[in-house]
């Protein structure tokens, strides 16, 4: 029997709050839990946001402007060099979702195995083309997107013969569990003829484990050291203890799903002999 292996990604994103020591701790927990990879987010602040927005007021640990907050959450080359080194030492893969072309080009220097298209970037043809042209296996999140928009993104990746996997996603933070609409997982798989994973922003584990039971081939969840920490993604993240529980649950689900073949186990044959006499 070929047991399915769900590719589990611990999304650190910007939950490190610009602190490498927090990033290392989150990496450590992902390793301990048995995740396949950790993921970050990379932005060139002046390319992603307008000057007017960056000049706006926002109180944060780094100052009172949007620019101070956005720059405070970004890692640069020195930090990513350390992340690359640390993940290699710990034996876990890392990759990142880029929110602009400069960030995607920046990430290429690390020779990462995977790329990620964030839901917000699914309609950005420049990003889609750049990523698809690299030819790396890419996870494409489908939050906030119509079928027409997903069709267009898929067409670009198929044009470049770039392997990809869609990820069902609802882009609310945190997502109410009743909005999960997990039956889209098999529907996306049927429509596009590709693997489909799940990227979740809900609290708890039940939605994510249900997604795996419905056939999700990958699973991505934001993780945090503490849900009360500063940051827009912290409340929609799994605390690290629940991450450990989730990975354990998923690995068990992989086993209990089996392969769908009707067979009689040795123990069932013994019971049959007792109850049927044959």
Query: What is the distance between the alpha carbons of residues 210 and 248, in angstroms, rounded to a whole number?
Result: 14
pLDDT value of position 254: 95
- What CATH architecture is 7-276? Alpha-Beta Barrel (3.20)
In the predicted model, is pLDDT for residue 18 greater than 50? Answer: yes
pLDDT value of position 1: 47
Task: Give the global pTM.
Answer: 0.95
Bridge-based pairing of strands 218-224 and 196-200 is parallel
pLDDT value of position 260: 87
Q: What is the pLDDT of residues 215-273, one digit of tens each?
A: 999 999 999 999 999 988 898 899 999 999 999 999 999 999 988 889 888 998 889 88
Bridge-based pairing of strands 37-42 and 164-169 is unpaired
In the predicted model, is pLDDT for residue 189 greater than 70? Answer: yes
Instruction: Locate the domains of the chain by residue range.
Output: 7-276
In the predicted model, is pLDDT for residue 187 greater than 90? Answer: yes
* 74-80 long-range contacts, CB within 8 A, separation 24+: 74/14, 74/18, 74/42, 74/43, 74/45, 75/16, 75/18, 75/20, 75/23, 75/40, 75/42, 77/106, 79/20, 79/23, 80/40, 80/42, 80/106, 80/110
Per-residue pLDDT, averaged over 187-202, amounts to 97
Q: What are phi and psi of 193, to 5 degrees?
A: 60, 40
Q: What is the pLDDT of residues 65-107, one digit of tens each?
A: 999 999 999 999 999 999 999 999 999 999 999 999 999 999 9
* Residue 245, Cβ density class (10 Å: 0-12 exposed, 13-18 middle, ≥19 buried): middle
In the predicted model, is pLDDT for residue 2 greater than 90? Answer: no
pLDDT value of position 101: 97
Q: Of all residues in the chain, what percent are helix, strand and coil, respectively (each to 5)?
A: 45, 20, 35
């Amino acid at each position: 029997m070929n047991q399915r292996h769900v590719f589990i990604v611990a999304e650190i994103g910007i939950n490190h709050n610009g602190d490498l020591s927090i990033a290392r701790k989150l990496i450590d927990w992902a390793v301990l839990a048995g995740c396949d990879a950790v993921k970050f987010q990379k932005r060139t602040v002046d390319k992603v946001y307008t000057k007017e927005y960056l000049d706006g007021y926002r109180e944060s640990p780094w100052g009172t402007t949007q620019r101070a907050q956005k720059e405070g959450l970004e890692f640069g080359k020195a930090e990513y060099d350390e992340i690359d080194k640390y993940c290699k030492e710990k034996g876990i893969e890392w990759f990142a979702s880029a929110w602009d072309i400069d960030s995607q080009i920046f990430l290429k220097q690390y020779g990462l195995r995977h790329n990620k298209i964030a839901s917000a970037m699914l309609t950005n043809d420049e990003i889609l083309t750049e990523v698809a042209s690299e030819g790396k296996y890419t996870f494409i999140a489908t939050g906030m997107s119509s079928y027409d928009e997903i069709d267009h993104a898929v067409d670009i990746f198929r044009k470049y013969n770039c392997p990809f996997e869609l990820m069902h996603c609802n882009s609310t933070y945190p997502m109410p569990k009743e909005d999960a609409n997990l039956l889209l997982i098999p529907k996306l798989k049927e429509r596009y003829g590709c693997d489909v994973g799940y990227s979740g922003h809900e609290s708890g584990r039940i939605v994510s484990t249900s997604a795996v039971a419905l056939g999700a081939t990958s699973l991505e969840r934001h993780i945090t050291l503490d849900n009360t920490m500063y940051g827009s993604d912290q409340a929609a993240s799994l605390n690290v203890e629940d991450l450990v529980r989730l990975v354990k649950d998923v690995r068990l689900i992989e086993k209990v799903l089996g392969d769908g073949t009707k067979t009689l186990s040795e123990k069932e044959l013994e019971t049959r002999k007792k109850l049927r006499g044959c």
